[in-house]
Amino acid sequence: MSEIIKNRYEFVLLFDVENGNPNGDPDMGNMPRIDPQTGNGIVTDVCLKRKIRDYVDLVRDGVPGYDIYVKTGAVLNDQHRKAYDYLGIEPSKNKPGDSRLTEFMCENFFDIRTFGAVMTTEVNCGQVRGPVQINFARSMDPVFQQEVTVTRCAVTNEKDAEKGQTMGKKQMVPYALYRAEGYISAHLAQKTTGFNEDDLELLWDSLVNMFEHDHSAARGKMSARKLIVFKHRNELGCCQSHVLFDGVKVERLSGDLPPRSFGDYRVTVSDDVPDGVELIEKL
């Protein structure tokens, strides 16, 4: 693998949804998640990490070092046993995990190397804090939640054949532009997981393209619109992250009309960044 990263990064990702549900809330009948006080839409960090994992699993399937730890159908204890089998030792239930086990998991699983993992289950591989962290995404404006009735010209059971059709519901927002902010710690990469330059480029690629292979009837049209990256010249960074985030402004242009496209917004990025910080626009 390539060299472990030596620079701290922050990034801002802008993405939007049109006639879809970017992140349903199972406690609210799968309606799009919102901040109940403001009405702004929310997409959780877990949702975004899921899309990153799925993209990496797609483009690096079978490539050593890029397996995915948390994926559909995975049994985590079975994932842990791979480390024990490789080292030729018996699984540990209550004892602290051997550091060699944690190192194996970091070397072989991209999402552990990136986001970290708690692996202190019955088959103990320890725990590790990942260098990449992502905040909840929040929409730039309040969203209008809709539950749309749809029909199907078929029935499930013979007893319903006389009905000729069945009814269903789809949860959606007409349009919303979301902003997510993230952090990449070179210190944690070097100290804990070994997150490297190749991993970093794959992460940028994932953030740009993760929606392109995740289309579905429920999610509607989702697109990454802007990816702004701030690269510090050293491991610990040259300024506070909020100073950089504040330089990315999103202004609504639609006036009193609700926004319905990315063209209803203007995005400006201040090039007046502190000394020691490089501004990079990936998208």
Task: Quick: pLDDT tens for 208-228.
Answer: 999 999 988 888 899 999 999
For the chain, give the percent of residues with pLDDT over 90. Answer: 77
Distance CA 98, CA 85 (A): 13
Burial of 63 (0-12, 13-18, 19+ CB in 10 A): exposed
pLDDT at 54: 96
CA torsion 31-228-205-219 (nearest 10°) is: 20
Q: To 5 degrees, how large is the angle CA 251–CA 252–CA 253?
A: 115
Domains held by the chain: number: 1
pLDDT at 94: 56
pLDDT digits 0-9 by tens, 142-192: 999 998 888 877 777 777 777 767 777 889 999 999 999 999 999 999 999
Is residue 44 included in any domain, yes or no?
Answer: yes
For the chain, give the percent of residues with pLDDT over 70. Answer: 96
- Three-class SS state of 128: strand
Which residues have C-beta within 8 Å of that of residue 237, sequence separation ≥ 6?
8
Mean pLDDT, rounded, of the chain = 92
Domain ranges, residue 112: 9-281
pLDDT digits 0-9 by tens, 224-237: 999 999 999 999 99
**Residue 35 pLDDT more than 60?**
yes
Range with the lowest mean pLDDT among 31-35, 36-40, 118-122, 260-264? 118-122
pLDDT at 97: 63
pLDDT at 169: 85
Is residue 236 included in any domain, yes or no?
Answer: yes
pLDDT at 150: 85
Which phi and psi angles does 90 have, rounded to 5°? -80, 145
pLDDT at 93: 61
pTM of the model: 0.92
pLDDT at 210: 96
**Residue 92 pLDDT more than 70?**
no
Is residue 4 included in any domain, yes or no?
Answer: no
Confidence of residue 55 (pLDDT cuts 50, 70, 90): very high
Is residue 102 included in any domain, yes or no?
Answer: yes
